[in-house]
Each structure stands twice: as structure tokens, then as C-alpha cells.
Amino acid sequence: MSPQATDSLQIEERYGSPDQRILSLTGPVVLATLFRFQDALRSKPTPTLVIDFTGVPYIDSAGIGALVGAYVTHNKEGRTLALVGVSERVHNALKVTHVETFFRFFPSVENALQAA
């Protein structure tokens, strides 16, 4: 994979309601895209954050660290964090690092918003 493809992460932000922010990711969540991912996670806090991983082919330890950081912040502040469309490869990375139990997984954004 070329370096350009590795550091390309597209982040689309939208809202289910004023209290429900949705981040749709396309591309890898890795060290090269970490700061962009962290900025998106931290900006505009809402009671519910849904992260759509449908377009994420893989995540590395830096990306997992950022995700765990978001979980800790949301949990401490009583906010909800939900993951949607997580591929088997990403899910396995979360399992191997023993953090998968921190997260709530949903098959669709709509399911996650309804559960919030």
C-alpha cells in the first residue's frame, strides 16, 4: 500500500439529533491518521457519539489507544459511545488487545441511535 493510501482517513460528521453525533470513517485508523481521528473524537461533545467503522479496513495500536481514550472520557462524563459496522479484522484487533468489552457494537447507525 502506498504511503498516501495509508495516511488517508476521511471523516464525515452528521447528527441523528442535536444530542447524537455520528462520525463515519473511511480509511485506516493508524498512527499516520491519529491526530485527525483524535480531533474528530474530541470536538463538539454530545451525550451520544456513534462511530461508524464500516469503511475502516484496519486499526493499529495507536488507533486503539485513541478509541480507548474516547471510551474513558465518555464513560467518566456519563456519555454514550457506540461502534457500528466493525469489520472482523478491526474486531479481532480489539479482542487481541483485550479492550473489546469496553465498547458497545451495533450492526447499523440506526440501531445504535435507538439504543442510546
- Could you report the per-residue pLDDT of 54-112, keeping only the tens digit for each? 999 999 999 999 999 999 999 999 999 999 999 999 999 999 999 999 999 999 999 99
Whole-number pLDDT of residue 47 = 96
pLDDT at residue 6 tops 70: no
DSSP 59: B
Q: For the domain bounded by 3-115, which CATH number is listed?
A: 3.30.750.24
CA dihedral 104, 105, 109, 113 (to 10 degrees): -30
* Whole-number Cα distances in Å, 21 to 9, 41, 72: 18, 10, 17
Do residues 41 and 66 make contact, with C-beta atoms less than 8 angstroms apart?
yes
Q: How far apart are CA 17 and CA 72, in angstroms?
A: 23
Whole-number pLDDT of residue 17 = 93
